Amino acid sequence: MSRESGRVQRPRRRKRRAFRRLFLLSFLLLAIFGSIYWFFVLRASTEHVQPYDGEKNVIVYEGSRKESTYVLESEQILLPFDFIKENIDPAIFWDEPTRSVIVTTKDKVLRMESGEVVAYLNKKPVDLLVPVKEVDGTRYVPLDPLEKLYPYSFERKADTGVLVVEKEGYEIQQAKVIAAEEKQAVRTGSSHRTPIVAELSSGEVVDVLGKKENWYRVLTASGVGGFISEKSIEMTDVRKVQLEHTTATGQQHAAWKPDGKINLVWEHVVSKNPDVSKIGALPGVNVVSPTWFEMKDAEGNLLNRADPAYVKWAHKRGYKVWGLVTNGFNPDWTKSVLSSYDKRDKLIAQLLYYAHLYDLDGINIDFENVYLEEKEELVQFVRELTPYLHQQGLTVSIDVTIKSNAKQWSMFLDRKALAEVVDYVAVMTYDEHWAASPKAGSVASLPWVERGLQGVLEEVPNEKLLLGVPFYTRLWTEAKQADGTVKVSSKAYSMTKAQDWINERKLTPVMDEASGQHYVEYKDPKDGNVYKMWIEDVTSMKKRMEIVNKYDLAGAASWRRGFEVPEIWQAIDETLK
């Protein structure tokens, strides 16, 4: 080999050595980075942490941890008032004047005063193991009496102290840990890199709450929440919460229902009750509601106008008697009474006594002109009253207006909450144009009635709703003034009086398509005043009953007996289905 050829071979050997060094370096770097990647990314964390960051007395509601915690005193659990209100019972009530917690159900009223170990269940004393208490500004309620009232399971896990709360009927998918030599980790997040909060053995059962990528969110039998790999469990059955005890503390009240629709008429009693011997036939009527009870002061005392002879007459005719109670339309008295448990209780006690004394079948609540800030207190009054009336076998109803922006006549009514408590709700679909209205118009035009009813039906079930209808109209006077303006005034007329006025002037009613009613107009030749009347008669009443049928309401309620013409009863009875 020549020198020249030898020199040619040396660069090739150097290139091969350089390539091997580069290869070894790359391999080494790959191994290093692989180790780093495995250590920091792929390697499962072995860190163990305390469930729920070590917080004690944790509450888990149907799989979700709640922010609030319970208190354990003398081995008795006390729940935060706000937790109960937000998750279990929106109706639980804190009465500040008496510093009491009040719980109402269909047939029970439980009152627990702060710091007292004696509570009152339907006014009967009940011993408490621990009282209602306040800790750092948070109110706590003993669980023991609540377990008998609420359809919920409350289970405190012995090993973790977690309180698991679930409603009766709650259903949840379950799974069991598959067979494996090692325990399966439950982690704080959906990654192997997150810390371990629990380790489960083969066969242990968990509740499956959801899924995130290849991980299931679970709740262990100890009440610990976390994530477990989907490879670690297999689905089993669906668990349904069934209580071993019953929360029914008495026979459940069933609302009275007639054969067919309710046909109620209010009996207006100002001072003296009617002579029942002069009341003619009322075909189709099955409920009479006399205006007998009225709030008469700011202390909760009731004015009583009840007449046992009227009840006897009504029952003989087969009518149910629902005594009406009103707040006297006095907002200040109402505020004073509703804002005090003792005054509410005083009012309730009188109603219960009178209902029993006069053998009533129901109570009709008619509270009007109430301050908006008493909205919640009115609901609470009805919640406290209704269980006692139901206990006596009485039907409970309440009168409401249609929705409007009038604070003291409409907005103070929580129709949805009230409807959940009472048996029936009567919506007073009249006074579209009220006595002092600046514009003449119908008391209750048919389109206005239907629109108002539709609004109430958004909050009140149709099977609980009674359509309130008027037996009166208004005679409107439009008088031209010296300055050219027109003064509008009105007088309320019964059906009979309205017909007499029309006949005296030999007027012929015409159908007003806009209102769906007959209409008359008359100009007085003497003074030039214009008189207008939208008439309530058989025609308009049949149309109102057709609305009852259209929306399948519970029935109708008429204001008031004595304003009608005799033929109106047959028209209502024949139209109601």
Instruction: Using a pLDDT cut of 70, give the percent of the chain over it.
Output: 93
Q: Are strands 124-127 and 320-326 parallel, antiparallel or unpaired?
A: unpaired
pLDDT in tens, 210-229: 999 999 999 999 999 999 99
Q: In terms of Cα–Cα distance, which of 469, 444, 270, 289 is closest to 362?
A: 289
Q: Are strands 262-267 and 118-121 parallel, antiparallel or unpaired?
A: unpaired
Phi, psi (rounded to 5 degrees) for 544? -70, -40
Cα–Cα distance list, 283 to 279, 562, 569 (Å): 12, 14, 6
CATH 2.30.30.40 occupies which residues in the chain?
A: 170-240
Phi, psi (rounded to 5 degrees) for 233? -135, 160
Burial class (CB in 10 A: 0-12, 13-18, 19+), 498: buried
CATH 3.20.20.80 occupies which residues in the chain?
A: 262-471+537-575
CATH 3.30.457.10 occupies which residues in the chain?
A: 52-156
When pLDDT is cut at 50, 70 and 90, the band that residue 27 belongs to is: confident
Average pLDDT over all residues of the chain: 94
How many Cα atoms within 13 Å fall on the side-chain side of residue 225?
17
How many Cβ atoms are within 10 Å of 111's Cβ, its own excluded?
Answer: 22
How many Cβ atoms are within 10 Å of 50's Cβ, its own excluded?
Answer: 12
Contact 132, 119 (CB under 8 A): no
pLDDT over 50 at 257, yes or no:
yes
How many Cβ atoms are within 10 Å of 16's Cβ, its own excluded?
Answer: 10
Q: Which residues touch 98 (CB under 8 Å, ≥6 apart)? A: 113, 341, 342
Helix or strand or coil: residue 143? Answer: helix
When pLDDT is cut at 50, 70 and 90, the band that residue 243 belongs to is: very high
pLDDT in tens, 160-202: 999 999 999 999 999 999 988 899 999 999 999 999 999 999 9
Query: Rounded to an integer, what distance in angstroms lies between the CA atom of residue 279 and that of residue 256?
Result: 25
pLDDT over 50 at 234, yes or no:
yes
pLDDT of residue 4: 47
DSSP letters of 415-456?
Answer: HHHHHHHSSEEEEE---SS-TT-SS---SS-HHHHHHHHHHH
What CATH number should be reported for the domain whose range is 262-471+537-575?
A: 3.20.20.80
Q: In terms of Cα–Cα distance, which of 495, 502, 503, 466 is closest to 562?
A: 495
Q: Which residues touch 18 (CB under 8 Å, ≥6 apart)? A: none
Query: Rounded to an integer, what distance in angstroms lies between the CA atom of residue 45 and that of residue 196?
Result: 8
Q: In terms of Cα–Cα distance, which of 194, 193, 184 is closest to 228?
A: 184
Phi-psi region of 334 (alpha: psi -120 to 50; beta: other; left: phi over 0): alpha
Query: Rounded to an integer, what distance in angstroms lies between the CA atom of residue 577 and that of residue 573?
Result: 8
How many Cβ atoms are within 10 Å of 572's Cβ, its own excluded?
Answer: 27
Pick the CATH number of 52-156 from 1.10.357.10, 3.20.20.80, 1.10.287.130, 3.30.457.10: 3.30.457.10
Query: Rounded to an integer, what distance in angstroms lies between the CA atom of residue 558 and that of residue 517?
Result: 17
Query: Rounded to an integer, what distance in angstroms lies between the CA atom of residue 362 and that of residue 386?
Result: 10
> Per the structure block, which two tokens stand in for 263?
């046909």
pLDDT of residue 5: 46
Query: Rounded to an integer, what distance in angstroms lies between the CA atom of residue 256 and that of residue 534?
Result: 36
How many Cβ atoms are within 10 Å of 248's Cβ, its own excluded?
Answer: 13
Residues pairing with 119 in the sheet: 126
When pLDDT is cut at 50, 70 and 90, the band that residue 352 belongs to is: very high
Pick the CATH number of 170-240 from 2.30.30.40, 2.60.40.1180, 3.40.640.10, 2.60.40.10: 2.30.30.40
pLDDT in tens, 285-316: 999 999 999 999 999 999 999 999 999 999 99
* Torsion, Cα of 6, 9, 14, 20 (10° steps): -140
pLDDT over 80 at 7, yes or no:
no
Q: What number is the average pLDDT over the span 448-468?
A: 99
